[in-house]
A and B are shown apart, each in its own frame.
Chain A
Amino acid sequence: MITSVPSVVAVVLVAIATLAIGTWGLRLSRTTSDFFVASRSVRPALNASAIGGEYLSAASFLGVAGLVLVFGADMLWYPVGWTAGYLVLLVLVAAPLRRSGAYTLPDFAEARLASAKVRTTCTLMVVAIGWLYLVPQFQGAGITLESATGAPPWLGAVVVATVVLVNVLSGGMRSITFVQAFQYWLKLTALLVPAIVLVGVWLGDGRPSPDGATNDHWSLPLADGGGQGLYLTWSLIIATFLGTMGLPHVVVRFYTNPDGRAARRTTVVVLALLGAFYLLPPIYAELGRVYGERADANVLVLDLPRLMLPGTSGEMLSALVTAGAFAAFLSTSSGLSVAVAGVLTQDVFRGPRFTGVRAFRAAAVIAVVVPCVAAVAAPDLGIAKAVGLAFAVAASTFCPLLVLGIWWRGLTDVGAIAGLGTGFISSGLGVAYSLSPFTTSGWFDVLLSQPAAWSVPLAFTTMYAVSRATASRVPSHVRRFMVRLHTPEAVALDRG
């Protein structure tokens, strides 16, 4: 086991910095002024950086490079999908969602369908998706710490969970857009600087180019797998393209935009920022083909500088990447934990025994501890794979709700619940199958391990058909609500 002092120092520094910002950040980041603060809304560029900072998780930071290293160019669909998800969000959802005034996804469901039952259903889904997304974050932290210090994998999960919990309970960091925006640039730097150095080393070495060295299908997308491979790719595309809009920690960020137009602009900038970031992991994967035959695919990004540059400089670069990876776990996990704790506080921990701060604390503990235990207990699926499953669930549940809710008047509460339930159960089957020791082969295995291609259409169809069958339950305010969703704020109009 490798023990790297600079990496340990980097991890400790990132953890302390995160906690410090959480505790004192609010005071530091707010300059007090006398006047005209009310016109300083959050600019789209800043908000987009914040979304990027929260969105780029361990899967992006570590997972993509490892997958491409092992499985080849097919896996580039992961970063493509995670970016293109924002394109779908931009075209179909961003502005209307902002204009609806909803802060969380359950808020939107309640505003659109005027039903407490749909709200509760959505809350359950938010919690499920949030946990499913948190588990690989904690597992990733485990292997990162293992790579840096040789500590057992569960320790990293517990460390990150503890830092996140303390941070969420102190209640500071996440709410500050500026801090989240900084996280994006930290992550980008942590990947970009080593990448530039390593490419320089590779050019200096005069080693062969990766695809020349290995004469197989590695660099060709859709090279093998036949019909099943094609299905897997399509299913992945559907899950990632449509799943982004259902991620609880992304949606709440859109509330910060002053209007629908700003929401669209923010999304465009997010596309650019993510596009720039996702250029980097494939570089690591390519270099890994040349230098990293011995590397563990899960932590390729962390080990590569060390493998290519023995000595202090390699250690320092590894430390930088480790710091970036840790920042990635912390920011994404904090965002998800707050989102999950938020909906739990609003919809579960109510009543006389839970009030205000106490309810939020209880919710935060549950929001963090449950996925932490799951991360230690559950088998390691590979970070990107596990996050992919969370996207599949989000695409099968919230995507139909948002798309039909925004673009179709006929949606009813019963239809929404039926569609959400169908999508959740069918994509949940995939999750259960992936987590269980039970394995099979052939089409059955393929259909279950990537359920999105059939579960998303199924959820859409169910939601449509049941809504049609219960057409009398269409809420009476729907036309008015649609006008509000789709009319730009600048148009003078009675929105009632």
Chain B
Amino acid sequence: MFGRRRGHLGSEADRATFRTLHTASLASPALREGLTVTSAERSVRHLRALLGTPAVAITDTAELLAWDGIGDHHTHQCPDIIATAVEHGGTRVAGHRELPCNRTDCQIRFAVISPLMVEDRIVGTFQVFTGDATAGLVRAADEVATWVSGQLELAELDASRNRLMEAEVRALRAQISPHFIYNSLGAIASFVRTDPDRARELLLEFADFTRYSFRRHGEFTTLAEELRSVERYLLLEQARFGDRLGVTLRIAPEVLPVAVPFLCIQPLVENAVRHGLSEKGDGHITIIARDHDAECVIEVEDNGAGEDPERVRRALAGDAELDSVGLGNVDVRLRNTFGDDYGLVVETAPGAGTRVIVRVPKFAPGVHP
């Protein structure tokens, strides 16, 4: 009985390990946001619990970000300590000279300072204030600082992933293919003599289309705006292909105000046009937007050659060799915005056409056009 229980909870050493790991896991979400006053304030408490010293501090390379523990009167000494630490590089101990204190009851006599490194660059320091700087404590402080550096490095990785995503959206914006521009202008030119009114209308549609696609601000837009741009795009493509391209739109007006990521439908329609028209002569595109209680469901369907599901899976996984760059990008942005439940669903098989389904919640915190 007792043996089993001990086996279940682990020995004293095991439990200490668990406690340490748990405390570290409490500090990690904040640190994963990067080194800011907020993240430092939220994590510093747990870091002090790891070491069990009178006080610890997190700083950037110039000033104090967060302090936890006793001895507030030492906080003003931080900047000087940081300066020497940044100059010095490694972990070091600061003594009386740098921490002058005339209070007899003050428990703080020494500070162990370790630099926080991200990609071999010092971004801040981790400072442990103690009454007695043992070798063990110096080692522990060094290890904690290394762990914090690791978390900050991950934060940096997250940030650069987001930057990459933004860059990709910018690229998508600029990615109106040169072919599309030549072809549209060519189609418009062909109407200039025969049907000047239509040529003028198409030119205005073209102007509106490019204005929307090159829009600089705002990560989100309304479904109405996005669909309006899709309609313009299809009008221009129809001017070029004439009767070869058929279009059906079935849009529930209730879902038009839904906020969606900018350019999340248009790449799907471009893909559909490309696939729908490539193999056979005639293509038909169907776009459906339905109201589904707290969600909106958008389907983009073509009757083209279809595709091998395995290829689509690779495209969604981000394989850049395939020509469906738009598909993977839309998928990632939808997941990033609304969560993993809201990725693209692609139904396709060779010879059976392709249907791409997008689900968007009517409300998500922080998502507004």
Q: Is the CB–CB distance between B362 and A103 below 8 Å?
A: yes
* Residue contact A107 to B231, C-beta cutoff 8 Å: no
With a CB–CB cut-off of 8 A, which chain B residues contact A177?
253-254
Q: Cβ of A101: which chain B residues have Cβ within 8 Å of it?
A: 259, 363, 367-368
Binding site for A on B (CB under 8 A): 217, 223-225, 227-228, 230-231, 234-235, 247-254, 256-257, 259, 290-294, 362-363, 365, 367-368
Residue of A nearest to B230 (CB): A38
Could you give, for residues 168-185 of chain A, a 1 whenever the CB lies within 8 Å of some chain B CB and a 0 otherwise? 000100011100000000
Pick from A35, A102, A256: contact of B231, CB under 8 Å: A35
Please give, as numbers and ranges, the residues of chain A lying within 8 Å of B256 by CB-CB distance: 38, 41-42, 258
Give the distance to chain A from B216, nearest Cβ to Cβ, in Å: 12
B257–A255 touching, CB < 8 Å: yes
Contact of A32 among B225, B248, B259 (CB under 8 A): B248
CB under 8 Å from chain B, chain A span 245-264: 255-259
Residue among A101, A102, A255, A257 with max Cβ neighbours from chain B (10 Å): A101
Closest A-B pairs by Cβ, 3 of them: A38-B227, A103-B362, A175-B291
The answer for the CA separation of A164 and B170 in the assembled complex, in Å, is: 48
**A486 in the interface (beta carbon within 8 A):** no
Known contacts A35-B235, A38-B228, A110-B365; A257/B292 CB under 8 A: no
What distance in Å separates the Cβ of A204 from its nearest Cβ neighbour in chain B? 47
A360 at the interface (CB under 8 A from B): yes
Q: Given that A175-B293, A342-B294 are contacting pairs, would A256 and B257 also be in contact in the complex, using a CB cutoff of 8 Å?
A: yes
Whether B249 pairs with A107 at a CB distance below 8 angstroms is: no
Across the two chains, which residue of chain A brings its CB closest to B361? A103
Structural contact, B292 and A37, CB atoms closer than 8 A: no
| Interface SS of chain B | mixed
Residue of B nearest to A39 (CB): B228
Task: Give A235 to B235 CA distance when docked, in angstroms.
Answer: 59
A368 to B44 Cα, complex, angstroms: 50
The answer to whether A35 and B224 touch across the interface, beta carbons within 8 angstroms, is no
Contact of B234 among A30, A35, A341, A346 (CB under 8 A): A35
The answer to whether B253 and A40 have CB atoms under 8 Å apart is yes
Inter-chain contact B249/A30, CB cutoff 8 Å:
no
Taking a contact as CB atoms under 8 Å apart, the answer to whether A494 and B217 are in contact is yes
Min Cβ gap A394→B in Å is: 20
Given known contacts A39-B224, A39-B228, A104 and B294 CB-to-CB distance under 8 angstroms: yes
Chain A residues within an 8 Å CB radius of B247? 34-35
25 sampled A-B residue pairs with Cβ under 8 A: A30-B250, A32-B250, A35-B249, A36-B231, A37-B250, A38-B228, A38-B230, A38-B231, A41-B224, A41-B253, A42-B256, A101-B363, A102-B363, A103-B362, A171-B292, A175-B293, A255-B257, A258-B256, A258-B257, A259-B257, A338-B293, A342-B294, A345-B293, A484-B368, A494-B217
Q: How far is the CA of A127 from the CA of B23 in the complex (A)?
A: 38
Q: Could you tell me the distance in whole angstroms from the C-beta of A229 to the nearest C-beta in chain B?
A: 44
- Contacts A104-B294, A177-B253, A360-B293 known; list 9 others, CB within 8 Å: A40-B253, A41-B224, A41-B256, A102-B363, A104-B363, A175-B293, A177-B254, A256-B254, A256-B257
Residue of A nearest to B227 (CB): A38
Once the chains are docked, how many angstroms separate the CA of A256 from the CA of B255?
Answer: 7
Q: How far is the CA of A484 from the CA of B368 in the complex (A)?
A: 10
Q: Which of A35, A110, A171 has the largest number of chain B CB atoms within 10 A?
A: A35
Interface of chain A residues 1 through 53 with chain B (CB within 8 A): 26, 30, 32-42
A103-B362, A104-B294, A175-B293 given as contacts; is B235 within 8 A of A41 (CB)? Answer: no
Q: B224 contacts A114, CB within 8 Å?
A: no
Within 8 A of B (CB), among A312-356: 338, 341-342, 345-346
Q: Cβ of A38 and Cβ of B251 under 8 Å apart?
A: yes
Give CA–CA (A26, B235) in the complex, Å: 27
> Complex formed: what's the CA distance from A341 to B259 in Å?
23
- Chain A residues in 8 Å Cβ range of B293: 171, 175, 338, 341-342, 345, 360
Asked whether, in the complex, the Cβ of B249 is within 8 Å of the Cβ of A346, the reply is: no
Complex Cα distance A256/B254, Å? 5
Residue A111 interfacial (CB < 8 Å): yes
Would A37 and B254 count as touching, CB distance under 8 A? no
Residues of B within 8 A of A33 (CB): 249
Q: Contact between B363 and A103 (Cβ–Cβ < 8 Å)?
A: yes
CB distance from B146 to the nearest CB of A (A): 32
A495 CB within 8 Å of chain B = yes
Bound CA span A391–B219, Å: 40
Measured between beta carbons, the chain A residues less than 8 angstroms from B257 are 41, 255-259
Min C-beta distance of A492 to chain B, whole Å: 10
Residue of B nearest to A174 (CB): B293
